[in-house]
Structure 1
Amino acid sequence: MYLKRCIYILCCCLSFIACKEEPLITFKEVNFSDGDSPMVEVNIPMAEGNKTIANAINSSIEKSVIADLQIGEVDTVSFHSIKESINGFNKEFEAFQHDFPDSAYPWEAQIDGDIMYQSENIISIALTSYMNTGGAHGNLTITFFNFNAQTGKIISNSDLFNDKDAFYKLAKAYFQKQVDYKKILFDPEKFVLPSNIGYSEKGITLLYNTYEIAPYSTGVIEFTIPYDEVNSLLVFDGVQ
């Protein structure tokens, strides 16, 4: 009887540990495309698990994709789903072809999402959007999202750090080590943090999109500060 009771308690403990370690959110890759138009393809991670958290994360990702596919002013977005946005993109192209039948430039839109980092406290996701609507070159934009893994809400960059001034100084020093900044920046004397700051497996990654601080020819500027150098400044600890 005593042995059976011990086994029962052990099983309960193991079950509790397993439940505790099971993540609230998992992800699966979802593809959106128009079979009649290979011009548009969207491959993004969609959250599953706790409905409240998953819905919050998915809503933010979907809104970003819809905005990226918008032709014209983002403030005038009227689509409510990714499929509607793809259809809208195609209709804009058809209208363009009608107005400029001699144009030889095909339109193209490709959006891909990747999980940069996931822990029990924070989830970082990157969306890479490439758009070409007939110009001299396409437009590549990368957007980082940091989600609170317990709520699904977006964490602002300022809320990632317990000492914003110290992180600014660390990022500036690291940037100057990694990048020949005096030759590429619009304003070499002024350092600014990028819009994109996110967690990755190796550390905190900072990414400047094209035109954000340097000419188009410079391209994307990206560097990572290792966790052993930045963890003391983080609200959510990263894996070292």
Structure 2
Amino acid sequence: MSLLKIASMTCIALTLGACQSVFQASAPKPLAITPDASEQLKAGCKGQDCPLVNIDTVHFADEPKLDALIEARLLKMTVNSPQDKVAPSLNAYREQFLRTAQSRYSSYLQAKVREQHDGLVIVELSSYLDTGGAHGMPGRGFINYSRKDQKEVTLQDMLVPGQEKAFWAAGKVAHNNWLISTRFGNDPEFVKTWPFQQTPHVALLKDNVVLKYDVYSIAPYSEGHVELKIPYSRLNGILKPEWFPAQGQ
């Protein structure tokens, strides 16, 4: 009996997901993650109001391009005005910040792996700059890293050409669902003041595509970083087939 016939007979007895797994290559083993966390105060300073820099990141011995990309993106998040220049490294940023920081200033930078699936590594980036005001300014971002292509997957890479408008229409549906699930759905003033917007923060998670928002974008500061979730079922014909999570893996 031929291998093809055996596979076909096997598929009759199995579910569709299991049948697909007969033909799909096994999912790659998740990358090993090495944490790298440190906190440093301004030299010679003592007390609770000392300036500090806290950096909590990750490293991948087998993916130097991802390592470099994470550092570059974290450094970009430290730029808060047109006059700011990107430091050449995280160590250089730390030294620069502490050298010029005033009392009560602090800077936090974090990179964490949100998920690994289907040859993708989803890294979530966070920043928080406190310059002594009522509250600091937080930032967020994502890296969708393709291990196969050894590069970041951008929104343009994800979408079928010409489908960007349809993608954001699906995002607006997710926004409406979020409004309904919160106390804001019955508040016309809130809906008018905080309308749906596009965001640069898009993540290809295993269960859904997530849109993450900076504070003050679609909700007040007190609501933090709102996440909207788009089911993959809504993205047929919009998202390129290679970015749908594989079945049976």
What residue is the counterpart of 2:39 in the other structure? 33
What residue is the counterpart of 1:7 in the other structure? none
Name the SS for the 1:86 alignment partner: helix
**Could you tell me which amino acid in structure 1 is paired with residue 167 of structure 2?**
F
Change over 3 Å in CA distance of 1:74–1:127 after alignment to 2: farther
What residue is the counterpart of 2:100 in the other structure? 92
Q: Report % sequence identity.
A: 20
| Contact 1:120-1:150 at 8 Å conserved across structures | no
What residue is the counterpart of 2:15 in the other structure? none
| Contact 1:33-1:86 at 8 Å conserved across structures | no
Q: CA deviation at 1:187?
A: 5.8
2:56 paired residue among 43, 56, 69: 43
Matches within 5 A, 1:1-240: 22-23=28-29, 25-34=31-40, 39-49=52-62, 54-70=63-79, 72-73=81-82, 76-77=85-86, 79-93=87-101, 96=102, 106-162=104-160, 163-179=163-179, 180=184, 182-184=188-190, 191-230=196-235, 233-235=238-240, 236-238=243-245
Cα distance in 1, alignment partners of residues 137 and 246 from structure 2: 33
More helix by share: 1
TM-score (structure 2 length as normaliser): 0.70
| Contact 2:144-2:153 at 8 Å conserved across structures | yes
> How many residues are treated as equivalent by the alignment?
206
| Contact 1:70-1:85 at 8 Å conserved across structures | no
Cα distance in 2, alignment partners of residues 183 and 234 from structure 1: 34
TM-score (structure 1 length as normaliser): 0.72
Name the SS for the 1:113 alignment partner: strand
More displaced stretch, 162-171 vs 195-204: 162-171
| Contact 2:201-2:212 at 8 Å conserved across structures | yes
Higher-RCO chain (CA-CA 8 Å, sequence separation at least 6): 2
RMSD: 3.0
State the Cα deviation string for residues 134-176 of structure 1 (Å, max 9, x = none). Answer: 1221111111111222233222112212233332222211211
Cα distance in 1, alignment partners of residues 27 and 207 from structure 2: 22
Q: CA deviation at 1:90?
A: 0.4
More displaced stretch, 139-148 vs 116-125: 116-125
Name the SS for the 1:26 alignment partner: coil
Cα distance in 2, alignment partners of residues 137 and 24 from structure 1: 37
| Contact 1:184-1:218 at 8 Å conserved across structures | no
Change over 3 Å in CA distance of 1:31–1:203 after alignment to 2: same
State the Cα deviation string for residues 24-43 of structure 1 (Å, max 9, x = none). Answer: 84322212433666821111
